[in-house]
Amino acid sequence: MDDLRFRPVAEKDLVLFQRLRTDPEFWGPGWPGFDDPGQPARRLASDGYFSESNSWLVAERGPDAVALLNWRTSSIGAPRLSWEIGIVVVPERRGQGIGWRAQAMLCDYLFDHGPVQRIQAGTRVENIAEQKSLVKAGFQLEGRVRAAEFADGEWRDGLLYSRLRTDPAPDLS
């Protein structure tokens, strides 16, 4: 049995959220550039990283924080009936089965705790690890989104995936 589990963001995680804003390797492909490293402490103090439109959890394996997970208002569907999710696995823990499991667990969590029908996730055409992770997490490819993001000096297409409440959940054991 995998010991991956979620917990709310804590003070000790602020360094990871700061790295999102200061360390391109931590973010992964398409880093948007430097941003205010003081924002994570302010966000934690203001709402604990939970809001109606944008929330975060930390995935732990053993004593270590291994991934940051986000769900936010989706570009498609009604608020609270559809979410868009995102994930960053800490660089030294990538390729260990955390990414797909954590995204599958986040879907289960969101389906359990709200009426959401549709969860979507977008990724870059070049991000093979995330495409494989999403499929293993029970997502289906919906299609190619043209000029989805501006990154690394140019407009880039993206791929859009979704998992519906009625889709089969993968076996996490």
Ligand X SMILES: CC(C)(COP(=O)(O)OP(=O)(O)OC[C@H]1O[C@@H](n2cnc3c(N)ncnc32)[C@H](O)[C@@H]1OP(=O)(O)O)[C@@H](O)C(=O)NCCC(=O)NCCS
Examine residue 99 and tell whether it contacts ligand X (CB under 6 A): yes
Q: Which lies closer to ligand X via its Cβ, residue 77 or residue 97? A: 97
Burial class (CB in 10 A: 0-12, 13-18, 19+), 104: buried
Sole window of 51-59, 69-77, 97-105, 146-154 interacting with ligand X (rule: CB under 6 A): 97-105
> Can you tell me the distance from the alpha carbon of 95 to that of 89, in angstroms, rounded to the nearest whole number?
9
Contact partners, residue 145, CB within 8 Å, separation at least 6: 122, 157, 158, 159, 160
Token representation of residue 83:
């979410």
Residue 129 Cβ vs ligand X, minimum distance, rounded to whole Å: 3
Q: Which amino acid would we find at residue 28?
A: G
- At its nearest, how many Å lie between ligand X and the CB of residue 130? 4
Shorter beta-carbon distance to ligand X: residue 79 or 95? 95
**Could you tell me which stretch among 6-14, 54-62, 93-101, 155-163 binds ligand X (CB under 6 A)?**
93-101
C-alpha 36/C-alpha 99 separation (Å) is 26
Which residues face 53 on adjacent strands?
none
| Nearer of residues 49 and 139 to ligand X, judged by Cβ | 139
Using CB atoms, what's the residue nearest to ligand X?
A: 99
- What gap in Å lies between CA 18 and CA 9, rounded to an integer? 13
In this chain, which of 44, 87, 106, 119 binds ligand X, going by CB under 6 A? 87
Please, which residue, 10 or 172, has the CB nearer to ligand X?
Answer: 172
Strand 154-164 with 5-7, pairing:
unpaired
Pick out residues in 107-146 that bind ligand X (CB under 6 A).
123, 127-130, 132-133, 136
Report the SS3 class of residue 155.
strand
Binding segment for ligand X among 12-20, 43-51, 57-65, 91-99 (CB under 6 A)?
Answer: 91-99
Q: Which residues bind ligand X (CB under 6 A)?
A: 28-29, 86-89, 94-100, 123, 127-130, 132-133, 136
